[in-house]
Chains A and B, each alone.
Chain A
Amino acid sequence: MMRIFTLSSILILLFLSSCSTLERGESTGVPLVIDTSAGVQVYDLTMTYKDVEFAGILLLNSGAQERNRFVLTSHFGMTVFDLETTAKGYKRHYAIPAMNRKRVLYLLWSDFSILMRPDFFKNIKYSYSEDGKLKSLVRSGSITKTEMSFIEYVDGFPNILEINHPFLKLNIKLKKIENADGVI
C-alpha cells in the first residue's frame, strides 16, 4: 500500500505535461487483445516505478455501449481503484486517496481502454506477427508515450500483456489468471 502512495506521489510530480486529447477512432479492424465477449477478465498485475513495485488483481469487464469497468484490488482484498468508461471519458467509482488524482486515473483509464480496444485512440502505431496477431503498439505522446506488447497467445488472446511508459519509467505487467472461474 505504501508503494502506491510513493508511486502516485512521484507520478503526480512527473505529470507536468498535459495529456493527449481523447480522440476515439472508428473501428479499424485491429485485433482485440482482451476477450471482451467472455465476461470479467482477471489478470495478475504488477506495477513498477523504478524500484517501487505494487502487485494486485485487475478485473476488466466489457459493458454495453463501451461502458467498460476497470477494477484493481490488492491481493489482500482492498479495492485500489474502480473506473468506468463513459461517453465523455471515465467515471471514478472509487480510488484510494493516494491514487485519487485526475492525471493518474486518466493515465490508467487510457491504458486499460487501449487494452479493451487497441484502436481506442487515433495516434497509435501497430506491429503484427506473421500470423496476423497484434504483437505490439506504440501511442505517441510527450511524457505519456505508451508502449504495449502482447505475448504468449492462447486461444487467440495473449496471456501476458505489458504496458510501458518509458518517459515515466512506469511499467505495468498483466498476466492472465488461468481458470478464473475459481477466482471469481
Chain B
Amino acid sequence: MKRFSTFIITLAFTLCIAVLPEGVKAQDGRQTLSQAEVTEFTASLKKVSSSINSIESSFTQEKVLQMFSKKMVSQGVFRYRRENKLEFFYKTPMKYRMVINGPRMMIDNGSKVQIISLDNNAVVKEMKTLIQASFLGKLHELGDSYSISYFSERSGDVVVEVLPKIKSVSDMIKKISVTFDSSSFIVSCLVIEEASKSVTTYYFKNQQINTINNDEDFHIK
C-alpha cells in the first residue's frame, strides 16, 4: 500500500509539472516567459533602447576558475555609444582597454596598442554582434545562428539566454545570459559560460544614460 501511495504521489506530482503551462514552470526561481510576454518584452526593450544613445557604467568582472576553486576579479568602466562603439576600460588589477568602433577593435595594454580588423575574425565579430544586440535591445534579431530563451526572475528582471549554434562560437562559448533590469530595461549582468567550464560574469552598475556626447573614448588611432 505504501508503494502504491508513493507511486500515486509521484505520478500526481509529475503530471502537475507536465501540465503546467510553459510560462508557469519554475526553473531555479525563474519562469519561462510566454510568447505574449516575450513579444511585450522585446517591444518594450526596443522602445527604450531607441531612446538610448549612450551608456556609461562601472563594471565588475568575475571569472570563476573551477580548477582552483577561486575567483578572478577585475573592475573598470564600460562605455557604449550608438551605433557601434564599445569600450571596456579595465582599471584594476591592471589597466587595459578594449575599444570597438565599427569594423575595428583596438587593444591597449599600456605599453602597446594593437588594432584588429573584425572582418577577419568571425568569433570576435560574433561577440561584438552579441554585445551590441544586448545593448541595442536587438537580441530577437540575432537570427538562426542562436537559440534564444526568455525568463523572468522573481525580482521581475528578464534574463535572455543565448545559445550559439555556430560551431566556431559554440566551441568556445556554450551560453550567454543577459539580465535586463525590470524597470530600466538596461543590461545589468552578462554571464558567459565557456566550453572550458569556466564562467565569467560582468556586473554593470551606476549606469548613466546619454551622458557621452562625443566619440573621444572610442577613437582608434
Residues in A lying within 8 Å of B, measured CB to CB:
1-3, 5, 40, 44, 46, 53, 55, 57, 59, 61, 69, 71, 73, 75-79, 82, 93-94, 96-97, 177, 179-180, 182-184
Chain B, residue nearest A73 (CB): B63
Stretch at the interface among B4-12, B33-41, B68-76, B146-154: B68-76
Give the contacting residue for A2; candidates B93, B96, B124, B198; CB below 8 A: B124
B93→A94 contact, CB < 8 A: no
A79→B198 contact, CB < 8 A: yes
Q: Which residues of B contact A96 (CB under 8 A)?
A: 171-172
Known interface pairs A1-B123, A44-B94, A71-B67; A79-B196 also in contact (CB < 8 Å): yes
Complex interface: chain A residues within 8 A of B63 (CB): 73, 77
Taken together as a complex, chains A and B put the C-alpha atoms of A69 and B168 apart, in Å, by: 26
The reply to whether A55 and B96 contact each other, CB–CB distance below 8 Å, is: yes
How many interface residues does chain B have, given as a range? 35 or more
- What is the CA–CA distance of A71 and B94 in the complex, to the nearest angstrom? 18
Residues of B within 8 A of A (CB): 61, 63, 65, 67-68, 70-74, 88, 90, 92-94, 96, 98, 107, 109, 111-112, 114, 116, 120-121, 123-124, 168, 171-172, 192, 194-198, 200, 202
Of the candidates A1, A40, A82, the one whose C-beta lies within 8 Å of that of B124 is: A1
Cβ-closest 6 pairs across A and B: A77-B200, A94-B196, A79-B196, A2-B121, A184-B70, A77-B63
Complex CA gap A180/B71 in Å reads 11
Which A residues are in CB contact (< 8 Å) with B198?
A: 73, 77, 79
Contacts A3-B116, A182-B93 given; indicate if A75 touches B74 (C-beta within 8 A). yes
Minimum CB distance partner of B68 in chain A:
A40
B73 partner residues in chain A, CB cutoff 8 A:
182-184
The interface residues of chain A, by DSSP majority, are classed as mixed
C-alpha gap A71/B63 in the complex (Å) = 13
Known: A2-B116, A55-B109, A73-B72. A97 touches B93 (CB 8 A): no
